[in-house]
Amino acid sequence: MLKGKKIILGITGSIAAYKATYLICGLVKKGAEVQVVITPAGKEFITPVTLSALSSHPVISEFFSNRDGSWHSHVDLGLWADAMLIAPATAASIGKMANGIADNMLITTYLSCKAPVFVAPAMDLDMFAHPATQQNIDRLRGFGNHIIEPGEGELASHLVGKGRMEEPDRIIEILEEFFTGSQDLQNKKILITAGPTYEKIDPVRFIGNYSSGKMGFALAEECARRGAEVTLVTGPVSLTVTHPQIRRIQVESAEEMYKAAMAEYPQADAGILCAAVADYRPEQVCTEKIKREKTGEMQLRLIPNRDIAASLGAIKREDQLLVGFALETTDGLTNAASKLEKKNLDYIVLNSLQDLGAGFQVDTNRITIIDRKGEITAYPLKGKKEVAQDIIHKLVTLVS
């Protein structure tokens, strides 16, 4: 799995730097080649001698190896790697990465790196919770970096909270999953709905909602990465797909989404209905712009849209799966369980608008999965990419 993989291990100035030794040993044991790049502060916590002995490579920390004019090329290093892992990643280094402040070898290597980047933050609980840190982490997520969430526990300050670097064994597992789990949906066809729908009022106005499409797009990327052929039926969003195995069908209204989804589902092995579909649409669409001067007070008569999830649930075959979402403000578990039943879903992903960081527009989500057996799994707050992995992990256990 990790055999022959070239990994850059970036170490920054955290007390958790000692855990990098376990990371190197674990990675080398799995057959990976590890090149350590360390920040000046990192060297205060662990010596390059230890790191080079364990990795069997000289440690890189300075731009210039000596005073004879030779220098380390961060560009070559960035291109050499199959993955870059920054563990531990301090608040300062995360801030520099998020803002492109390339004042040491580790940050320049990060900026040059074409390979996937994994970041394992390690810091005190208040530093981690600070909006500056959280915004920087969100920016890294936005760049497509994988954030390995820190755990909760006793920190170097002896305070207890979230900020403890994920355990080395688990970090190695995450890298392994990235490189191997990739093909467990090969030959599978997955239909995904994403984004909001716009229901026209007149040529310039519509009824919409705050859905950004981020969760649905993350699911599409995750399925494609694992080998599936994905059909992504999306409402209006400002996102692009990157994977060649994702076929995008652009729609605007709930009715258009319904038609596309009904046409595509019979060919699919599974459907994941992530879109925030408008429940109602104006009964009449004005062909001309409605004028305030003419209309004065106005009433908009709305009629219900068709429920795509329930309609697909009704035509679902034995060999197909169907996954839905529930965004609830109250009684989340009860409402989600009843939707699971009503729409004939195999499992439902509940997110509550009461949870900070969950729901529309944000890059994070906190979900609970409820399946047909009544099994309930609650997950911590994670980036949408990681949440997509959890949702698809569940799909993989059910897909035949």
Q: Which stretch binds ligand C5P (CB under 6 A): 15-23, 92-100, 128-136, 267-275?
A: 267-275
HSE-CB of 36 using CA atoms within 13 angstroms: 33
- CB of 54 closer than 8 Å to CB of 46: no
Please report which residue ranges of 150-206 form alpha helices under DSSP H. Answer: 168-180
When the beta carbons of 147 and 369 are compared against ligand C5P, the nearer one is 369
Q: Which stretch binds ligand C5P (CB under 6 A): 113-121, 148-156, 171-179, 274-282?
A: 274-282
With CB under 6 A as the contact rule, which of the stretches 33-41, 292-300, 307-315, 355-363 interacts with ligand C5P? 307-315
> Closest approach of Cβ 7 to ligand C5P, in Å?
38
Verify binding: residue 260, ligand C5P, rule CB under 6 A.
no
Distance CA 271, CA 220 (A): 11
Q: Binding-site residue total for ligand C5P (CB under 6 A)?
A: 14
Q: What sign does the dihedral 289-292-295-300 (CA atoms) show?
A: positive
How many CA atoms does the CB half-sphere of 360 hold within 13 Å?
14
Q: Kindly tell me which of 11 and 336 has the beta carbon lying closer to ligand C5P.
A: 336
How far is Cα 136 from Cα 184, in angstroms, rounded to an integer?
33
- CA torsion sign for 49, 55, 56, 57 is negative
Residue 209 bears catalytic tag? yes
Tell me the residue length of the chain: 400
The answer to whether residue 352 forms part of the interface with ligand C5P (CB under 6 A) is no
* List 324, 332, 359, 383, residue binding ligand C5P (CB under 6 A): 324
Nearer to ligand C5P, 245 or 335 (CB): 335
**What CA–CA distance (Å, rounded) separates 116 from 146?**
8
Q: Which residues contact residue 107 at a Cβ distance below 8 angstroms, ignoring those fewer than 6 apart?
A: 93, 96, 97, 101
Please report how close the Cβ of residue 157 comes to ligand C5P at its closest, in angstroms. 43
Q: Tell me which of 308, 350, 369, 391 binds ligand C5P, using CB under 6 A.
A: 308
- Answer yes or no whether residue 325 interacts with ligand C5P by CB under 6 A: yes
Q: Does 39 bind ligand C5P (CB under 6 A)?
A: no
* Residue from the set 339, 366, 382, 384 that interacts with ligand C5P by CB under 6 A: 339
Tell me phi and psi for residue 148, to 5 degrees: -95, 105
Options 120, 127, 270, 326; binder of ligand C5P; rule CB under 6 A? 326
Contact 194, 235 (CB under 8 A): yes
Rounded Cα–Cα distance for residues 206 and 253 (Å): 10
Strands 246-250 and 229-234: parallel
Among the listed residues 83, 147, 207, 275, the single contact to ligand C5P using CB under 6 A: 275
307 binds ligand C5P (CB under 6 A): yes
Rounded least distance, CB 183 to ligand C5P, Å: 27
Using the minimum distance from each CB to ligand C5P, give the nearer residue, 77 or 348. 348
**Residue 293 Cβ, how far from ligand C5P at the closest point, in Å?**
35
3-state helix vs strand vs coil in the chain, percent to 5: 35, 25, 40
Residues 6+ apart with CB under 8 A from 160: 125, 152, 153, 154
Q: Which of 273, 387, 391, 395 binds ligand C5P (CB under 6 A)?
A: 273
Q: Which residues contact 391 (CB under 8 A, 6 or more apart)?
A: 219, 222, 272, 323, 349, 367, 369
Q: How far is the CB of 72 from ligand C5P (least distance, A)?
A: 50
Site string for ligand C5P, 198-237 (x = CB under 6 A): ----------------------------------------
**According to CB under 6 A, which one of 8, 165, 254, 268 is a site residue for ligand C5P?**
254
Catalytic residue among 104, 209, 305, 365: 209
3-state secondary structure of 360: coil
Tokens for 228, please give them. 């599936």
For 329, other C-beta atoms within 10 Å of its C-beta total 10
Contact pattern from residue 149 through residue 168 relative to ligand C5P, giving x for each residue in contact according to CB under 6 A and a dash for the rest? --------------------
Tell me the closest approach of the beta carbon of residue 326 to ligand C5P, in angstroms. Answer: 5
- Which residue lies nearer to ligand C5P by CB, 172 or 326? 326
Binding positions for ligand C5P, rule: CB under 6 A: 193, 254, 273-275, 277, 305, 307-309, 324-326, 339
Residues annotated as part of the active site? 209
